[in-house]
Chains A and B, each alone.
Chain A
Amino acid sequence: MHPGIFEQPETFTGRYHQMKIEGRVWKFGDDVDTDLIIPARYCNTSDGAQLARHVFADSRPDFAGAVSAGDVVVAGRNFGCGSSREHAPLALKEAGIRAVIARSFARIFYRNAFNIGLPLLESGEAVDRIRDGEKISVDLSTGKIEDRTNHQTFRTDPVPDFMRELIRTGGLVDHVKRNKLKKKTVRRSR
């Protein structure tokens, strides 16, 4: 294995993120694109709190006002397709969303979400059975999704180890800080 990004960091000093999540479900359909998550006209800022105010502004205007910390988005196929704007996962995370469960994810969104510490899970079964407004809990380390309203349990692949490290430590920034740049400094000083 090529050394580097897959090496285990020795210590964790970053912002720890929860592996267990509990909250209300916000249900969406297929092909939710990043323009729907946050329209481009609100993306002339990188400020998370401001972005969070406009999340789903056009498609679900009640969302930003009613979402609370710990909530989960459940959606169909190809969630996060379209523009690469990281403003989309950032707006969701800042609004309080702690995980997104979907049948599948668009690839840039997938990277972006983990890079900023927003975990994603794929489960067609959970998407079929979980309804809007229900209470669910999610365990990222085991991939267990529990529907607290209808007392159903779904099992999906847990978040991959490498991704889990990203979430645990708060995302790619801390990872780079801890591993890559330190490594470079060492290399340079030799």
Chain B
Amino acid sequence: MAMTITEKILAAHSGRKSVSPGDLVEVRVDLAFAHDFTAPLAIQVFEETGAEKVFNRNRIALVADHFVPNKDIASAQQAKRMREFARKHRIRHYYEVGEAGIGHVILPEKGLVVPGMVVIGADSHTCAYGALGAFSTGVGSTDLGAVMATGEIWLKVPPTIRLEYTGKRRRWVTGKDLILYTIGRIGVEGALYSTMEFAGPVVRDLPMYQRFAMTNMAVEAGAKNGIMEPDEKTLAWVKGRSGLKPRVFRGDPDAACAKVIPIDVNAIEPQVAFPSSPANDRPLSAVGKVPLDQVFIGSCTNGWLEDLRDAARILKGKKAARGLRLIVIPGSPWILKEAVKEGILETFLEAGAVIGPPCCGPCLGGHMGVLAEGERALATTNRNFVGRMGHPKSEVYLSNPYVAAASAVMGRIAGPDEL
């Protein structure tokens, strides 16, 4: 039977010859992930099940990335709970301040995810690993606690929505813009319970970091997972990072999709999502004058080294506008180190930026750049819900790193061509 890439991975992990959308399957999990925000509840669940051992200490990754370095006593307690669990169960991939960065950056960077895997994470942006041709999806803490105990999870096989991108990308248009445009077009529940399969020559043309930005935000359209077929770029990216053997699944050409959506990128401009929904996007030329108090460059969507390079290219020799706070947070310690070596950090510092330690930072309003009432921020993050970065009466706009950097200089939302 013809199957999509997602169906093939789920079939292979549930011991079946084939699966169809709607089937409930029990799936073998290759990697389970949680962070300091969701792990404590998952650990509580794990303990309540009465399990004495984790299913496999090599197949669990615990990363302190949300409220670290510990922002207050309660967060410190949470981080401690995760640390003690990791020590007790000798969790191999436990990363904390110093080695830790954003989980969704660290895991691919360290080669823990390769094509063909099933990754279950207690974080909604776990869908990011689909850029590697893996099935990955976010769950809550109870599911994750049960996965840590059993190594299995029940899943409903999702129908596939195939998005085919053709045409030529304009200047300053990145994977982030393509996904913002797509979410704007199909809506925040446009892919509810479904797979978003990103395909077409434009996707194959994208560098890996921009592919990650696309699959990362699949959840913002309600999708269960985002996925791309692995190609030479994927395999080259994985090679040298990982001792794990990639398992390349490709969709059958005649596999049934619930929908096929062709997207012509020729006319797509850099996108800006207005408050308070990632689907509320506008082309840059239709933004108007939006003065800003803060610009944040970082997060699991745009915290890769290449994202920082893109921003630095715009900021080189320039200064952030007076009164605007520019916050840059590299996605991992390795990225931070490389950014130092390449002189990127110097560019940021000369522009008046503050550099945060690798972590999720202000993306979810935890710390390191929380907004006050009435303040407005442009961020390279993935969510701009009400109160996401602070006060319920603050505003968050989303963009790619080029636009974020240019906006920091202009003090209002602006594209690089305006500089």
List chain B residues, Cβ under 8 A from A78.
Answer: 188-189, 192, 222
Q: Please state if B140 and A46 are interface contacts (CB–CB under 8 Å).
A: no
Give A contacts to B, CB under 8 Å.
2, 4-6, 31, 33, 35-36, 39-41, 43-46, 58-59, 77-78, 81-87, 89-90, 104, 106-108, 111-112, 115-116, 162, 171-173, 176-177, 180-181, 184
The answer to whether A184 and B139 touch (CB under 8 A), given A2-B26, A81-B222, A177-B49, is no
Ranked nearest first, the 4 interchain pairs of A and B with the lowest CB-CB distance are A112-B140, A86-B140, A58-B392, A44-B74
Q: Please state if A104 and B25 are interface contacts (CB–CB under 8 Å).
A: no
Q: B386 at the A/B interface (Cβ < 8 Å)?
A: yes
Q: Please state if B140 and A108 are interface contacts (CB–CB under 8 Å).
A: yes
List chain A residues, Cβ under 8 A from B166.
Answer: none
Give B contacts to A, CB under 8 Å.
14-16, 24-26, 37-38, 40-41, 44-45, 48-51, 66-67, 71-72, 74-75, 77-78, 122-124, 126, 138-143, 145-146, 149-150, 152, 154, 188-189, 192-193, 219, 222, 224, 277, 364-366, 383, 385-388, 392
Q: Please state if B51 and A181 are interface contacts (CB–CB under 8 Å).
A: yes
The answer to whether A35 and B366 touch (CB under 8 A), given A43-B37, A108-B140, A173-B146, is no
The answer to whether A35 and B386 touch (CB under 8 A), given A46-B40, A85-B37, is yes
Given contacts A2-B14, A77-B189, 10 further A-B contacts (CB under 8 A): A35-B365, A36-B387, A39-B365, A45-B74, A106-B189, A115-B140, A116-B140, A116-B142, A176-B49, A181-B149
Task: Pick the most buried of B16, B38, B66: most chain A CB atoms within 10 A of its CB.
Answer: B38
The answer to whether A31 and B277 touch (CB under 8 A), given A58-B392, A181-B51, is yes
List chain B residues, Cβ under 8 A from A40.
Answer: 37, 66, 364-366
List chain A residues, Cβ under 8 A from B66.
Answer: 40
Q: Please state if B385 and A36 are interface contacts (CB–CB under 8 Å).
A: yes
Instruction: Write the chain B residue with the least CB distance to A33.
Output: B385
List chain B residues, Cβ under 8 A from A41.
Answer: 365-366
List chain B residues, Cβ under 8 A from A46.
Answer: 40-41, 44, 78, 141
CB distance from A150 to the nearest CB of B (A): 29
Q: Please state if A84 and B124 are interface contacts (CB–CB under 8 Å).
A: yes
Q: Please state if A173 and B45 are interface contacts (CB–CB under 8 Å).
A: yes
The answer to whether A87 and B41 touch (CB under 8 A), given A59-B386, A107-B193, is yes
A56 vs B41: C-alpha distance in the bound complex, in angstroms?
Answer: 20
Q: Please state if A45 and B124 are interface contacts (CB–CB under 8 Å).
A: no
Give which listed residue, B15, B74, B142, B366, contacts A86 with CB less than 8 A.
Answer: B142
Instruction: Write the chain A residue with the least CB distance to B147.
Output: A176
Please, could you name 15 A-B residue pairs with CB atoms under 8 Å apart, sorted by A?
Answer: A36-B386, A39-B387, A40-B66, A44-B71, A44-B77, A81-B189, A83-B383, A85-B37, A85-B38, A86-B141, A89-B140, A90-B41, A106-B189, A176-B146, A180-B146
Instruction: Write the chain A residue with the least CB distance to B158.
Output: A107
The answer to whether A84 and B38 touch (CB under 8 A), given A112-B143, A115-B143, is yes
A176 vs B51: C-alpha distance in the bound complex, in angstroms?
Answer: 9
Q: Please state if B24 and A162 are interface contacts (CB–CB under 8 Å).
A: yes
Q: Please state if B392 and A59 are interface contacts (CB–CB under 8 Å).
A: yes
List chain A residues, Cβ under 8 A from B142.
Answer: 86, 112, 115-116, 171-173
